[in-house]
Amino acid sequence: MARGKLRLLPFVFIFTVLAACENEPTKKVTVNPIQFMADLHCEAVSLRKARFELADKMRFMEDTLMQSSTSDSAKALLRTQLDNLEPYKDSIVNRSLELSKIIKFTLDSLIEQEFTEMVQRKSFDVELAAELEKRGCR
């Protein structure tokens, strides 16, 4: 079911763009795949940074917990803080997983249907990298 929904995403996106331009029916609107992938990827970059930041925060807290010099009251506080981070972790992981499915599906579709030749794929890689650089998504 989810897979079926994901399959439709690029088409939904394209349809949305087309619908937005329905007052100009004669104007052909095409979605630039580089721009579309860059939009998705920039969100993925933000999520990746958030995941690493959270993972680091959690392991440093766990590290402090393990140290014998940490007082019992500090340990209790840290445990509470760690527990409180769990819902945020779940949320960020779920969003990341959903987005990764969308990106994977979009990329596979582009590779298998649009950029079937290796030379086209290389060009796609270069153009995408340039667009991401321009947007500061690294």
Partner 1 sequence: MKSPTSLTIPIILFLLIGFSGCEKYERVTDSTETSAYSGDFLRKFYDLQCQITKETPGFFPPQAARAFSYVGLTGYEAVVHGIPNAKSLAGQLNGLSANALPQPEVDKAYNWAIVANAASAEMMRKMFELNLSEQNLQKINEMEDYNYSQLYAANPLPVADRSVAFGRAIAEAIYQYSMTDGGHQAYLDAFQLPYILPVGDHCWIPTGATVHPICPYWGECRPFLNQNVVGTQPPQHLPHSADVNSDFYAAAMEVYNQVNNNSAEQIEIARFWADDPFQTCTPAGHTFNLLSQLLEEDDATLAKTAVGYAKLGIAENDAFISCWKSKYDFVLVRPFTYIRQHIDPNFNTVIGTPPFPAYSSGHSCEIGVGETVFTEMFTNGDGKYELSDRTGLQFGFGIRHFSSFSEMAEECANSRFYGGIHYQMDNTEGLVTGRKIGYIVLNQIQWPEVN
- In a 13 Å sphere around the CA of 106, the CA atoms on its Cβ side amount to 23
Residues 6+ apart with CB under 8 A from 36: 10, 13, 106
State CA 132 to chain mean position distance. Answer: 13
- Closer Cβ to partner 1, 16 or 116, answer by number: 116
- Contacting partner 1 within 59-88 (CB under 8 A): 59-60, 62-63, 65-66
Of 74 and 93, the one with the shorter C-beta distance to partner 1 is 93
Pick from 16, 35, 48, 77 the residue near partner 1 by CB under 8 A.
48
Rg of the chain, C-alpha, whole Å: 21
Distance (Å, whole) CA 95 – CA 80: 24
Query: Total residues contacting partner 1 (rule CB under 8 A)?
Result: 44
Contact of 114 with 33, CB cutoff 8 Å: yes
Q: Is residue 44 close enough to count as binding partner 1 by CB under 8 A?
A: yes
Q: Segment near partner 1 (CB under 8 A), from 9-17, 19-27, 28-36, 121-129?
A: 121-129
Question: How near is the Cβ of 120 to partner 1 at its closest, in Å?
Answer: 12
User: DSSP alpha helices (H): ranges in the chain?
Assistant: 2-20, 33-66, 72-109, 118-135
- Answer for which of 20, 76, 129, 130 binds partner 1 (CB under 8 A) is 129
Nearest CB to partner 1, comparing residues 16 and 46: 46
- Round to whole Å and give the CA distance between 28 and 7: 23
Quick check: 135 binds partner 1 (CB under 8 A)? no
- Minimum gap (Å) between residue 59 Cβ and partner 1: 5
Asked if 138 is part of the footprint of partner 1 (rule: CB under 8 A), the reply reads: yes
